Structure 1
Amino acid sequence: MRGKRVAVFGGSGFVGRHLVRRLAQAGAQVTVAVRDPEAALFLKPMGDVGQITPLYANIRKPKTVQRAVETADMVVNLVGVLHQGEQSFAAAHAMGPKHIAEAAAAAGIETFVQMSALGVSTDSPSLYGRTKAAGEAAVLEAVPTATIVRPSVIFGPEDTFLNRFAAMARLSPVLPLIGGGTTRFQPVFVGDVADAFMALLQGRGEPGAAYDLGGPRIYTFKEILEFIMQATGRRRLLVPIPFGVARIQGALLQLLPSPPLTLDQVKSLEGDNVVEGGNPGFGELGIEDLSLMEAVAPAYLQRYARGGRIRSLDVG
């Protein structure tokens, strides 16, 4: 990777900061393509002077995308949203990847890695899943040699999964077991996901392939909430909520500026989020010894314990 020029869209986000650090350590020149370059300045100390450059790019504006990739050798797209607000799912997950991939193709770039999500498909019950699948198709149409990364839920110090429910437990005496808490997940550490991106950028992947990434253990939604309670030393009542009721709650809560739950998220929870086989994964990339949630998460979940304090953690 030394001397390679890599454009990382969404590089200041959760996965992006871990990937940018690895790219800098490997000697790459990194352009962090984001809508707010000033908010990405914290990444610059991860590399040498001038090695990491935040650059304005809006994936809805093709000309700004073209400027970000015109000098790149490789492109990574990490842009995604969990609920529709300022950006719609269609814009962030389908149209945005299309613009980026078309710009990469025009620039003659063949190494392109697209972040997607485990279990997405054109007939997914959630709009999130359908637009993610549309983004995959658009990328592969423009850049057939691109690779797709499909992780299960990702955990790490800045995650929006464990942190969300730990924050809820700090404020509420009850936590909802949506659908009875039987939905299965295969949480994967953000550092392991970043390692997978590095492996693909270094040519260890199969062009045009999709990589399903799951952690070393499968948990039910109920088991994950119980783990959070144990890690934070809190006792909360776990109340089963049927999917039908949860759909109504999600439809109402999504009207809030920062909704804790949306109807689309409820629909996503109606199916398991685990690696089913059929696609390559960590093993095919030569990545072993994956991090267990129990080994990593308690350190950063301590901020939600009684008497805990918010602190910055740099893991991975």
Structure 2
Amino acid sequence: MTRNLKIVVTGASGFVGKNLRKFLAKNNIDVVSISRNNFKKLKNETKIITKNYDEKIILPKIKNASALIHLVGIGKQTVENDYSLINHEFTKKIINICKKARIKKIVFNSGLGVSKNTTLGYFISKYKAEQEIIHSELDYTIFRPSYIVGKNDLFTKYLKSQIKKGTIEIPGSGKYSIQPIFINDVSKIILKSVLEKQFKNQILDLVGPNSITYEKYVTDFSHNSGTKIKKISLESAYYNAISNPKSKFGVDDLNLLVGNFKGNYNKLEKLSKMKFQSIHEVLKSGILL
């Protein structure tokens, strides 16, 4: 089924990229992994390090690959790297690379809550990237993920750092819901989207089977750690996000957190024919700690 399959992964050194590459390696799939940052090479893997995703370096090694998984993106802007540049314009470059390399399939991680009616800069850039892919004439699968959680995702690292300090701060009421999905399930469904025809030209919410309030998530995550839970006003949280460059939450991070975005899990489950781990099982197992 996976014989003669070659998959290209951009953003290979990121959290999703690392876990996806490990999963593909376990399934004996040839992978061409591309990143701006250095990373440890796995079996059956071709490693490419290039700051500017130089076509002269990339194209000879990815020609006629089965698919390209595009994972490059940012969730927090800087003067050097803004949403439009990385999330939108860079996606245009990747589409062009696919065409030059005669790669017919692209899989893209967008964001839960992306729509043509959005007013958020992050979502606007992701929506524009989606449109570039939709109109590219490539076979595509676009995933709109909620929080993708695993042992070393950024969200989990943040909560662990708060536990070390003895207090986890919750912006606002904490009653808003999130719909996390476990990284192992994400890796499985990305491979499915390459192998199975029903994923062709689909846009799917990449969410777990259960919604959970942020307060409940934090409480269950820190269970038995003796960590205090402290609620802070949204005004304070946003002020810190705006004024403190070292803030763990950016403005758009807070917008995404309190936005109460819900995904269509039933469609995802029906199309994939997978049973996804519930976030309650994941938290109870302690696998994130």
* TM-score normalised to structure 1 length: 0.81
Q: C-alpha separation between the residues in 1 aligned to 2:217 and 2:55?
A: 41
Query: Which segments of 5 or more consecutive residues in structure 2 lack a partner in the other structure?
Result: none
Q: Residue 52 and residue 65 in structure 1: after superposition, are their counterparts in 2 closer, same or farther (change >3 A)?
A: closer
- CA-based RMSD: 2.4
Amino acid at match of 1:271: G
User: Does 1:286 pair with 2:277?
Assistant: no
- Provide the residue aligned with 2:93 in structure 1: 99
Query: What whole-Å deviation, never above 9, does each CA across 1:185-240 have from its counterpart, x for those lacking one?
Result: 1110000011110101102433221111211211111111111221x522313214
Shift of 1:71: 4.4
- Residues 1:199 and 2:192 aligned together: yes
Structure 1: runs of 5+ lacking an equivalent: 303-316
1:166 — aligned with what? 160
CA contact (8 A) 1:126 1:264 kept: yes
Alpha-carbon spacing, 1:12–1:236, altered in 2? closer, same or farther (3 Å): same
Counterpart amino acid of residue 214 in structure 1: V
Aligned position for 1:265: 253
Aligned 8 A contact 1:166 1:228 in 2: no
Is residue 241–residue 250 contact of structure 2 (8 Å, CA) maintained in 1? yes
| 1:130 lines up with 2:124 in the alignment | yes
Counterpart residue number, 1:234: 226
Q: 2:211 aligns with which of 209, 218, 221?
A: 218
Mapping of residues 294-305 of structure 1, within 5 Å: 294-297=280-283, 298-302=285-289
CA distance, structure 2, for counterparts of residue 15 and residue 74 of structure 1? 16
CA distance in 1, matches of 2:199, 2:12: 23
Identity value in percent: 22
User: Partners in 1 of 2:262 and 2:90 — Cα distance?
Assistant: 26
What does 1:25-36 correspond to in 2, within 5 Å? 25-36=26-37
Give the counterpart letter for 2:141 in structure 1.
T
Alignment of structure 1 residues 1-316 onto 2, 5 Å: 1-36=2-37, 39-41=38-40, 43-44=41-42, 47=43, 51-58=44-51, 61=54, 63-64=56-57, 66-67=59-60, 69-85=62-78, 87-173=81-167, 175-230=168-223, 232-242=224-234, 244-253=235-244, 255-256=245-246, 259-276=247-264, 280-288=267-275, 290-297=276-283, 298-302=285-289
SS in 2 for 1:281: helix
Return the offset for 1:61.
5.0
Give 1:182 deviation, angstroms: 2.0
Letter in 2 for 1:283: K
Inter-partner Cα distance in structure 1 for 2:183 and 2:20:
9
Residue 12 of structure 1 aligns to a residue whose secondary structure is coil
**1:252 partner letter:** S
Question: CA distance change for structure 1 residues 54 and 281 in 2, over 3 Å: closer, same or farther?
Answer: same
Q: Say how many residue pairs are matched.
A: 286
Tell me the amino acid that sits aligned with residue 136 of structure 1: E
CA distance in 2, matches of 1:35, 1:201: 24
**Partner of residue 308, structure 1:** none
